[in-house]
Structure 1
Amino acid sequence: MTEHLTISTPAGPFDAIAAGPADGRPVLLLHGFPEAGIAWEHQVAVLGARGFRAVAPDQRGYSPAVRPEHTAEYGLGTLTADVLAMADALEWSRFDLAGHDIGGTVAWWTAAEHPERLRTLTVVSAPHPAALAHALRTDEDQQLRSGYLTQWRDRSTERRMLANNAEALRKMFEWRVPPSRVDEYVRRLSEPGALTAALNWYRASRSTGETDKVEVPTLYVWSTEDVAFGSTAALDTEKWVTGAYSFQMLEDVTHWVPEEVPEVLTALMIEHLS
């Protein structure tokens, strides 16, 4: 069973789900777009039952009380600072970090810049940012897959995604996420300003510096039917991890790994954490 939690930080209170004993080994799980902390509900519950203290927050823009209006307040540096601020508020000096989709990108940045805070890193779907940047320069397949990034910077995106009972937003999940969960995501992102805040993650200026290599033990999980991230960046990610590295490829699974194959992912995570 999961519980609801409020994590008070200088930026404001983040909503979260959590499970496990207060003194359990801490694991923080970062969701992607257009989801929320509940995307990790299965993993949080199982990790909690195994004695870990697992916490999955609704991140900046997704937690209503941490939803600044200005696009510049959603840059990667700020999102990474949120991770450390939440860990500090939870009194975690070191912790295991997991992330999916753009939450995985934030996890990569956190691991690269603050390795002393992490025991391990688990990233699902999103390749190392430097591997993705290289693929965007050299791989036509990845260029086509990432075309949405340009589209989402257009300010008409919110209206288009939410039109006709959020038809476009619902289609993103490729019918691989339970309809009731999709309904919940749509409900949350239909709140005033919520979808704009979520899209501001993509609209904020990106860091011009190249992400460092990651030295903490890393598990990277990529699925062959992922529409956003192709094999070039996925296979190249190994070059950007200097610590112990495990690459797991899931056949016939789409982008929505945590909710599409929750048992498979959770088993991989527990093995990695062990």
Structure 2
Amino acid sequence: MIEQLSIPTAAGHFDAIASGPTEGRPVLLLHGFPEAGIAWEHQVAALGGHGYRAVAPDQRGYSPAVRPERTGDYDMSELVADVLAIADALEWNRVDLAGHDCGAGVAWTVAEQHPERVRSLTAVSMPHPAALADAQRTDEDQALRSGYLTDWRQTRTTERRMLDNDAEALRRMFEWRVPPSRVEEYVQRLTEPGALTAALNWYRANRPGARIGPVSVPTLYVWSTDDVAFGSTAALETGNWVTGPYHFHMLEDVSHWVPEEAAGAMSSLLLEQLNTH
């Protein structure tokens, strides 16, 4: 049920997985760090089986053919432009957009800046950027949770630390909540020359505290109680930054890695969101 795609854009060819009839209602799913489009494999297959056309690309830096060396080439404006370019290449005028982790950050921004292109938004783990910025400033718990961002911006030092001892630190990020075979695949991808630096450039090019305005499209936000990166303060505040129809769903005893750890539940939530809107 899963196809492999190469999506041509002016920036280069994006690798992607896809499922469903080409004429199906389009759904674009954006992965986070340090993963790839295959993080959404269960959801892509489920959506395809229900007649949607689901595509999950390996984003800028993760697709080998779109891996520029300059840190500035990973600015949010470039990441947003990639989403629009991928949609254009697929001949999609409007999409249902989903994102996890920093992929959700891109999805939030696309939905705020280009609501005419987004039928609905599903954000997983990462709260609305303004809610997160406020929590980082006012909530000690969230400030501590976000401390890793400072470390990750230390050029090259972070790469060495993550890849030392057979990428032990990179593997430990997944908290033993993601299947070992999948973790191994992510590690192999990120040990390609320049791949981990490209992935970390997302954080180096985009500073914390960046704010966007309210989102007007129908939005589902999924947060998990065992998420080490995003606490409850920003999660509960997110609804105040959505002016359109909004649904908040909390997953108990699930870690940050929602699309893979709670694959069935996430697929059901996504299908419900699409069926509703």
TM-score (ref. length: structure 1): 0.99
Alignment partner, residue 104 of structure 1: 104
Q: Give the partner amino acid of 2:260.
A: E
CA distance in 1, matches of 2:154, 2:161: 10
Alignment partner, residue 194 of structure 2: 193
Cα-to-partner distance string for 1:180-230 (whole Å, 9 max, x where unaligned):
000000000000000000000000044986301000000000000000000
CA distance in 1, matches of 2:141, 2:208: 23
Alignment partner, residue 233 of structure 2: 232
SS in 2 for 1:252: strand
Alignment partner, residue 252 of structure 1: 253
Alignment partner, residue 4 of structure 1: 4
Question: Does the aligned pair in 2 maintain the 1:28–1:98 contact within 8 Å?
Answer: yes
Unpaired runs of 5+ residues, structure 1, are none
Question: Does the aligned pair in 2 maintain the 1:131–1:233 contact within 8 Å?
Answer: yes
Q: CA RMSD in A?
A: 0.9
Cα-to-partner distance string for 1:148-189 (whole Å, 9 max, x where unaligned):
000001120001001111000000000000000000000000
CA distance in 1, matches of 2:229, 2:210: 23
Q: Give the partner amino acid of 2:170.
A: L
SS in 2 for 1:144: helix
- Provide the identity percentage: 72
Matched residue count: 274
CA distance in 1, matches of 2:260, 2:206: 30
SS in 1 for 2:107: helix
Question: Does the aligned pair in 1 maintain the 2:122–2:220 contact within 8 Å?
Answer: yes
Q: In the alignment, is residue 74 of structure 1 matched against residue 74 of structure 2?
A: yes
SS in 2 for 1:126: coil
Q: In the alignment, is residue 214 of structure 1 matched against residue 223 of structure 2?
A: no
Classify 1:207/1:257 alpha carbon distance in 2 versus 1 (closer, same or farther; 3 Å): closer
Question: Does the aligned pair in 2 maintain the 1:121–1:216 contact within 8 Å?
Answer: yes
Q: Give the partner amino acid of 2:266.
A: L
Cα-to-partner distance string for 1:231-268 (whole Å, 9 max, x where unaligned):
00000000000000000000000000000010001001
CA distance in 2, matches of 1:109, 1:210: 9
Question: Does the aligned pair in 2 maintain the 1:76–1:207 contact within 8 Å?
Answer: no
Q: Give the partner amino acid of 1:81.
A: A
Question: Does the aligned pair in 2 maintain the 1:75–1:206 contact within 8 Å?
Answer: no
Q: In the alignment, is residue 120 of structure 1 matched against residue 120 of structure 2?
A: yes
Q: Give the partner amino acid of 2:2.
A: T
Question: Does the aligned pair in 1 maintain the 2:30–2:100 contact within 8 Å?
Answer: yes
Q: Give the partner amino acid of 2:126.
A: A
Question: Does the aligned pair in 2 maintain the 1:76–1:206 contact within 8 Å?
Answer: no
Cα-to-partner distance string for 1:39-84 (whole Å, 9 max, x where unaligned):
0000000100100000000000000000000000001111001000
1:1-274 aligned at under 5 Å gives the runs 1-155=1-155, 156-206=157-207, 210-274=211-275
CA distance in 2, matches of 1:69, 1:241: 35
